[in-house]
Structure 1
Amino acid sequence: MTVETLSFEQTVPRTLAHRRCLGEVFVADTTALGPAEFLAAIQIPRAHSHWSDRIAAYHDPLAAVEAIRQAMTVIGHRYLRVPLGTPMSLQRMETDVEDHSALREDGSAPLEGIVRIHAPQTGGTGGYFADNTFTASLTIGAALAMVVRGSGIAFPREAYEQFRRHQQQTRPADPDAEIAARGPVQPARIGRRNPRNVVVGRPDTRQGSALVLPLVVDQRHPSFFDHTYDHLPGPLILEGFRQAAVLAACEIGALATPVAAVAAIHATFTGFAELNVDADFVATVLPDGGGGAVVELDLSQFGTTIATCTVELAPYPPD
């Protein structure tokens, strides 16, 4: 099978993508070109409740990141001997948008493209406990739209459950406690229309020159909580980083509008975040002088940083 023969006729089985709802599966087809080279056909539904909630006439690059994350999961199961149901943890993710014009929306076509994935196996058994690296490039039509690089770990189920029990027992808060009520900002402040898709609250405190913004968690959100988790899911945290960056950059005047393009987002995850415990972003904004900004962020819980991220924001290209 080659790029020309990959099919967009239907999605892969939902269990391969670790999704509960059929509408949350974005991988249509995959093939192996060799032991470390793979292709995946991806498509984001035009009417998706989260990824279609945007103001600019551009497809969301983080929607493509989610599709690539699913493609990596499918490839692990289909070609790399990772058993179904295996817990997986993203450790590092670097996304660079190479061509914003490739993400331009024409009003009728979904975000659809071919992902080429290089994923050499670096150790472990069937990918277990190995810090497996990958590079994924998304082509839309003939254009290279974006490149995603990262690494992650697959856990044997028993080892994962044992690790999480130990982690929760040694943390200073009750994992079953109710999280404090934290209201989201108005969706227009982060370039959204639907309040349900807002995951950050207003910046009401500072740490020196940095703004502190609460992460707002709605465990009924149909996309971020497509199925049951025992921790905050990675896609929610990534979206929180993006929204916190936009909100903070607008607060200090580095961005003239929250309708801003993500040029790059580089994140590192150093621990699992608990569901029912407050988590906060600390954002430091560095204006770039060209109408955009570089925002450095930490996500903290229990007074400890559990993820860091740098988000590069820029105005969309002129029409």
Structure 2
Amino acid sequence: MASATLTPYLRDQCHEIEGRFGDGNRPSELTTTVPREYVHRTALSEVFLTNWRRTDDGWVVSAQWPRAHSFYGPVDGLHDPVLIIESIRQAGILLSHVGHHVPLDHPIIWQRVRYDLAPRALRAAEAPAAVELHVTDHDMVHRGKRLASVRQEFRIVCDGADLASATLVYSCHSPAVYRRLRGEYSDVALANSRKLPVPQGVAPQQVARERDRDVVLSPTDRPDRWQLRVDTSHPVLFDHPVDHAPGMLMVEAARQAAQAASPGFTVPASIDCSFARYAELDAPSWVQARTTGRTDDRRQVEVTVEQHGNPVISAQITCVPAP
């Protein structure tokens, strides 16, 4: 989750961008993405945010969703809803740095992420989607002058239409504190040297995927239980080396498990994930789905991920058919 220290040149470039974009003066159209270090991404193609500005009660962060993407691509004419979570992930990290002065090498740790969306507003058009995230900060905790934790509430607009409301709760830790929390697991190289072999995945169609490499569930002897498939070579879910299974992988596992439990209900209209602990790379994690509610037009699914018998995440997902 932590990014490398900026070079002096890139630091100057970031200060220039802050001067142009961070003071409320927004360009009339897209000219650049935000610095990739500000959203903890390595590949420029994985940076979706384009701008930010202050408002009287918070922030507006702009983003552009592509018409095609190697992982978060449109399905049935709809943008991938999980782009919402990736966008608020990037927005939360961006604002921690540019708005609350959290250093770039401080890991950002999730406690909860959720959204509720209007599926029809996901319709993909003939141009990339223009997305605005209206963000307000709540329950802020500081350690000295530095942000320690925050709950951020989002109102998300896509191509001028209200798309979703969302919540992100996270904490910020210095590298020294993170090393104490993680112990030997904080060593990225050591953690990756212990990673398990990647097991065979379920059929992509079972989890609304087109390609084998995008499947994150491996079958077991039970239809409602899977092993988490951790492929550290995946170019999107593992954009850069990390010391644990990343949050977006856990969200994708919950989404795929809900899809497997509710065939035909392909759109996760709401996702609410709570994170209890890290999933390590040196032991299997187990994903289980349970349908908790059924109507003609929706399915409610509870998904849990466990490792060593301990909860890693719990998620409540409501799936609907594509409109």
TM-score (normalised: structure 1): 0.86
1:253 corresponds to: none
Tell me, in whole angstroms, the C-alpha distance in 2 between the residues paired with 1:25 and 1:68.
Answer: 12
Q: Which one of 259, 270, 289 corresponds to residue 246 of structure 1?
A: 259
Tell me, in whole angstroms, the C-alpha distance in 1 between the residues paired with 2:25 and 2:159.
Answer: 11
Aligned length: 297
Q: Which one of 203, 227, 231 corresponds to residue 240 of structure 2?
A: 227
Segments of 4+ moved more than 4 angstroms: 1-7, 166-169
Tell me, in whole angstroms, the C-alpha distance in 1 between the residues paired with 2:285 and 2:186.
Answer: 15
Q: Which one of 121, 127, 132 corresponds to residue 114 of structure 1?
A: 132
Counterpart mapping for 1:209-220 below 5 A: 211-220=224-233
Tell me, in whole angstroms, the C-alpha distance in 1 between the residues paired with 2:35 and 2:289.
Answer: 39
Q: Which one of 102, 109, 113 corresponds to residue 82 of structure 1?
A: 102
1:115 match: secondary structure: strand
2:292 corresponds to: 286
Counterpart mapping for 1:51-130 below 5 A: 51-52=72-73, 54-97=74-117, 99-106=118-125, 108-120=126-138, 122-125=140-143, 126-130=145-149
2:262 match: secondary structure: helix
Counterpart mapping for 1:111-190 below 5 A: 111-120=129-138, 122-125=140-143, 126-130=145-149, 132-165=150-183, 176-190=193-207
1:288 match: secondary structure: strand
Q: Which one of 297, 301, 305 corresponds to residue 299 of structure 1?
A: 305
Q: Which runs of 5+ in 1 are unaligned?
A: 251-256
1:14 corresponds to: 36
2:51 match: secondary structure: strand
CA deviation vs aligned residue, 1:181-213 (integer Å, no higher than 9, x gap): 42111211221212211111235227xxxx211
Matched-pair contact (CA < 8 Å) for 1:180–1:278: no
Stretch deviating more after TM superposition (117-126 or 278-287):
117-126
Identity of aligned residues (%): 27
1:205 match: secondary structure: coil
Tell me, in whole angstroms, the C-alpha distance in 2 between the residues paired with 1:241 and 1:162.
Answer: 29
CA deviation vs aligned residue, 1:134-176 (integer Å, no higher than 9, x gap): 101111133110111121100011110121016789xxxx985
Tell me, in whole angstroms, the C-alpha distance in 2 between the residues paired with 1:183 and 1:43.
Answer: 34
* RMSD of equivalent CA atoms: 2.3
Structure 2 CA distance for partners of 1:78 and 1:187, relative to 1, 3 Å:
same
Tell me, in whole angstroms, the C-alpha distance in 2 between the residues paired with 1:142 and 1:316.
Answer: 21
Q: Which one of 67, 74, 78 corresponds to residue 46 of structure 1?
A: 67
2:295 match: secondary structure: coil
Tell me, in whole angstroms, the C-alpha distance in 2 between the residues paired with 1:75 and 1:168.
Answer: 25
One-letter identity of the residue aligned with 1:30: W
One-letter identity of the residue aligned with 1:235: M
Matched-pair contact (CA < 8 Å) for 2:192–2:243: no
| Deviation of 1:268 (Å) | 0.3
Matched-pair contact (CA < 8 Å) for 1:184–1:202: yes
| Deviation of 1:249 (Å) | 2.4
1:193 corresponds to: 210
Tell me, in whole angstroms, the C-alpha distance in 2 between the residues paired with 1:168 and 1:153.
Answer: 17
Structure 2 CA distance for partners of 1:303 and 1:6, relative to 1, 3 Å:
farther
1:254 corresponds to: none
TM-score (normalised: structure 2): 0.85
CA deviation vs aligned residue, 1:37-57 (integer Å, no higher than 9, x gap): 0011111222321011x5311
Tell me, in whole angstroms, the C-alpha distance in 2 between the residues paired with 1:274 and 1:37.
Answer: 35
Q: Which runs of 5+ in 2 are unaligned?
A: 1-22
